[in-house]
Structure formats: structure tokens, C-alpha cells
Amino acid sequence: MQIPLSLQFINLLAALLLLIAFAMLTQRRILSLINLFALQGFVLAISTFVVAYSTSQHHLYYSAGLTLLLKVLLLPWLLHRLIRKLNVRWDVETMINIPTTMLVGIALVIFSFNLAAPISQLAEGITRGLIGIALASVLLSLLMMLTRRKAVSQVVAFLSLENGLFFAATSATQGMPLVVELGIALDVLVATFIFGIFFFQIRETFDSLDITHMEKLKDD
């Protein structure tokens, strides 16, 4: 069976997304992490655009535009500004055990492919089988959140988690209703602003953006 060109292209982009998720998992430099996040958003916007074109779902053009605006331009710009103001632009995170993290990541990918297999069977149309990849990138972002110790990289992980979810929405369902997507975009934007406020509060209080300082609250 001949696979249509658009589907091949979307599959390629999905693979790229997964690759970027792995790259983010192991990236130590905060600046490069933010650039990777912007790249992820860009790939996401293109894939949304391709889905929109090949299924002629007009509202997906809007979400592709929204993604481009929010996740490729606005949020990375905000983050760049933040790390410049906070003077953590050149920070390098010390991470232990990158190989182990990678292995756990691979295990997560296998797990999500298995979990999504019965659902992928049901999917029709061009985007069949991409749910596994979407779930994998969601779980990889979760893993990244767990392994990071800097507030900024945790936030980037949080935002890339949202990217994975957005990919799930476009690939599995060809886009949620527009009102829901707008609501989600608004929430993400507000969340980023609040994160920004937090960075300053945390820095002011702890003299550092290292969240290892924030493990004092215990039950006793």
C-alpha cells in the first residue's frame, strides 16, 4: 500500500519530536534547552499545519498559527528575557547519570508504545499510530521534570510536556474544539508569567534558583 506523502511527512516530524524530547532530557545548558524547546514548538507547528492541510480542517490552521506565535516566539522570548535578567544564561546543570536517564527514557518509550497499541488500532485516517509517540514525549518530559534540579529547566520541562499533549490532540483527534484550545493556550501563557514571578521570588529568598534548597518541608 502506498503511504500518502503527507503521512510520511507527519511521521518524520513525530520522530523528530521524540528525538528533541531525548535531546532535552540530556541537555545541560539552560540556554540550549530553551532553544530546543523553541525547535520543538516549531516542529509541532509544522506538523499541525500539515495535518490541517491534508485533512482540510480549517480550525487547525488557527492552532498552527497559535502554536507558532506562542511556543516558538512568545514563550522562548519570555524565557530568554528571564534568564538574562536572572543572570543564569550560561548556567550548566550538573546531572548525574545521563546514561541511566536515557535508558529509563527508552523504557518509557517502549511502555507508551505498548500502552497506545490498542488505541492506535482504532485510529483512522492519516494520523494512526502517532498516539504512542505523543504519549512517549509526554512521559519523557515528566521524567525530565523529575531529574532536574533547576527551577528554569523544570519549567521548560513543564512547557514541553504541554507540547507533547498538544501533539497528542492534533495527531489523535485532529484538534480539540477551538474554544478548548484557546483556553489551554491562555492557561499556559498565564502559567509562564506566574513561573516568571516565582523565579524572582525564589531567587530573592534563596539566592539561587536551585530547588534543592526547597526540600525542607517535612512531616516533622
Partner 1 sequence: MIDSQLLALLLIPLSGGLLLAVFGSRSWAAELNSLMSFGTFVASVVLTMRIIDSGPQVAFGEEFFIDQFNVFLVALTAFVAFTTSLFSRPYMRIEQHHGKLSIGMLHLYYSMYQMFTFAMLVALTTNNMGIVWVAMEAATLTTVLLVSLYRTPASLEAAWKYFILCGVGIALALFGTILLYFAAERLLGQGGTALLWTHLNQVKSGLEPTVLKLAFVFLLVGYGTKVGLVPLHSWLPDAHAEGPTPVSAVLSGLLLNVALCAVVRSKVLVDGSLGTHFAGNLMMGFGLLSVVVASLSLFRQKDIKRMFAYSSIEHMGLITFAFGMGGPVATFAGLLHMTVHSLTKSAIFFAVGHAVQKVGTQQMENIRGLMQVSPTVGWGLALGTFAILGMPPFGVFSSEFLIITTAMHEYPWATPILLVALGIAFAAIFGKIQPVVFGETTAKRLPHPPALIPVFAHLLLVLMLGLYMPPYLADWYRQAAALLG
SS3 label, residue 87: coil
Stretch that binds partner 1, among 10-18, 46-54, 79-87, 188-196 (CB under 8 A): 188-196
Stretch that binds partner 1, among 9-17, 63-71, 79-87, 159-167 (CB under 8 A): 159-167
Q: What is the dihedral of CA 165, 168, 173, 177, to 10 degrees?
A: 20
Q: For 144, phi and psi rounded to 5 degrees?
A: -65, -40
- Does residue 68 interact with partner 1 by CB under 8 A? no
Stretch that binds partner 1, among 26-34, 89-97, 103-111, 203-211 (CB under 8 A): 203-211
- Does residue 205 interact with partner 1 by CB under 8 A? yes
Q: Which of 31, 74, 142, 196 binds partner 1 (CB under 8 A)?
A: 142
Distance in angstroms between the alpha carbons of the first and the last residue of the chain: 64
Q: How many residues bind partner 1 (CB under 8 A)?
A: 48
Q: Which of 19, 81, 92, 187 binds partner 1 (CB under 8 A)?
A: 187
- Contacts with partner 1, 16-55, as mask; x by CB under 8 A: ----------------------------------------
Q: Which grid cell sits at 70?
A: 506562542
Alpha helices (H) in the chain, listed in sequence order: 5-26, 30-55, 58-67, 75-85, 98-122, 131-147, 151-173, 178-206
Question: Of 110, 92, 82, 98, which is closest to residue 194 (Cα–Cα)?
Answer: 82
Q: Which of 11, 101, 137, 174 binds partner 1 (CB under 8 A)?
A: 174
Question: Of 172, 67, 71, which is closest to residue 112 (Cα–Cα)?
Answer: 172
- What is the C-alpha separation between 103 and 97, in angstroms, rounded? 10
Give the footprint of partner 1 on this chain (CB under 8 A): 57, 115, 118-119, 122-123, 131, 135, 138, 142, 145, 151, 154, 158, 161-162, 165, 168-169, 172-174, 176-177, 179-180, 183-184, 186-187, 190-191, 194-195, 197-198, 201-202, 205-206, 211, 213-217, 219-220
